Structure formats: C-alpha cells, structure tokens
A and B are shown apart, each in its own frame.
Chain A
Amino acid sequence: RKEVEQDPGPFNVPEGATVAFNCTYSNSASQSFFWYRQDCRKEPKLLMSVYSSGNEDGRFTAQLNRASQYISLLIRDSKLSDSATYLCVVNRYNDYKLSFGAGTTVTVRA
C-alpha cells in the first residue's frame, strides 16, 4: 500500500464552481500534513499546512480526519489560475522525511 494515495483526477470544473478532493495516508503516527500546488513542468509550492482543527486560506479549506486517516482540500469559487496538480504531503513519523502523493489534477474551464 502506498504511503499517500490520491485520486489522480482530472477534475474538470467551470469557473466559479466548488471542487473538493481527498487524500488518504497509511501511517497513523504522521504529525504534519500539507497541500502543495504544482503547475505543469514547475516545482511544487506550498499551498497550505493542514491542522487538526481544519484551516482556511481565502478560497481554500483544508481538513484533517485522523480517525479515517485522510485529508481534504476544497476550493471555492474556482479561478482559471487554480488549474494545477495538487500534491498531498505527509511527514513520516518521528522523521523529517516527507511522503508525497502522485497528485490530483484540477482543470478550471472558462
């Protein structure tokens, strides 16, 4: 079983729509969770950390469900510029190494 699994998509949504997707992780002892954004042929960039209480950054909302071992990302009022691959990232227990999902591709159309 992969350490981090994501639905690869693609999720094709119209501008202004809401899109949400999850990622599951296998290590129940993981402590740090992140969403990174990666544009085509570019480096990943941190979108947001994910906290137990859930957190919001503008149109983006991240949730963590430790019991079911998944994190989610919701994008409201989608913009064309939100088109990207979103990487789910989880730390390995007691370790500074990170495990990366293969990414969920979102395409926002006009």
Chain B
Amino acid sequence: DGGITQSPKYLFRKEGQNVTLSCEQNLNHDAMYWYRQDPGQGLRLIYYSQIVNDFQKGDIAEGYSVSREKKESFPLTVTSAQKNPTAFYLCASSISRGENIQYFGAGTRLSVL
C-alpha cells in the first residue's frame, strides 16, 4: 500500500523544546517537501529536497531544520527558535520531473503547551 506516512498525528511542544515530525514515503519519489498551513492561508514551503543528502530552504525555513539521509525519509525538526510553531504541517513527495504532481501525507498538528 504505497503512500506517505506522517507521524505523530498530533504533537504538543513545551517552551524551549525541539520536536521532530516524521515523514516516510514508499512511492520511490525523488523529491520531498515540508509545508506549513495556517488558518485562512495557503501552504507555505519550509524546506525541500530533490535528492538524498541535499536539501534547500523554502520560504519560511527559520526555526526549522531537516535531514535527508534516506530517499524514503525526510524528518522535520521544529526548534525552540520557531516562536510561533502552532500549525498544520504537511509533508509531500513527487517524482521531481514532468508535471511534478505532489502527493501529501495526512499531516501533523502541532500545538504549544
């Protein structure tokens, strides 16, 4: 059953804490992306990676970090430097050529305690 799996579904962060959101795909896609969605706003790109061991900052990378050690995995860490982390975080992947249709995981809702 191919797809993108994000975990956890809900996450709570305490002040000063780093938290890591997991994203795994078994679609054999080259490219992976992290987006943040706030109410009434479009998705905003945090980080993206087109190949293993390489990633680039998106539009709102400050306070976030990523790694891409395996093709299947692209975890996102929300650091304590991100002062307004409450949002819906979406991971996506694509084959990185042609139309570049992106497919999304079910998302993680992060809230601050």
Contacts and interface: CB of A to CB of B under 8 A. Distances in A.
A99 B42 contact: yes
Interface stretch (A37-45, A56-64, A75-83): A37-45
B42 A96 contact: no
Nearest to A101: B42
A41 B48 CA distance: 23
Looking at B44, B50, B101, the one whose CB has the most chain A CB atoms below 10 A away is B101
A87 B41 CA distance: 11
Interface in B27-67: 31, 35, 40-45, 48, 50, 58
A42 B42 contact: no
B87 interface: no
Nearest to A45: B104
Interface of A: 2, 4, 8, 32, 34, 41-46, 49, 87, 91, 96-103
A85 B75 CA distance: 27
B99 A43 contact: no
B96 A97 contact: no
Contacts of A2: 42
Contacts, number: 48
Interface of B: 31, 35, 40-45, 48, 50, 58, 88, 90, 94, 96, 99-107, 109
A100 B42 CA distance: 5
B45 A97 contact: yes
A26 to B, nearest CB: 13
B96 A96 contact: yes
A43 B42 contact: no
Contact of B43 (A8, A44, A46, A49): A44
A96 B107 CA distance: 21
Contact of A91 (B42, B43, B45, B100): B100
Given A8-B40, A96-B31, 12 more contacts: A32-B100, A41-B88, A41-B109, A42-B107, A43-B107, A44-B104, A49-B99, A96-B96, A96-B100, A98-B102, A100-B35, A103-B42
A15 B94 CA distance: 35
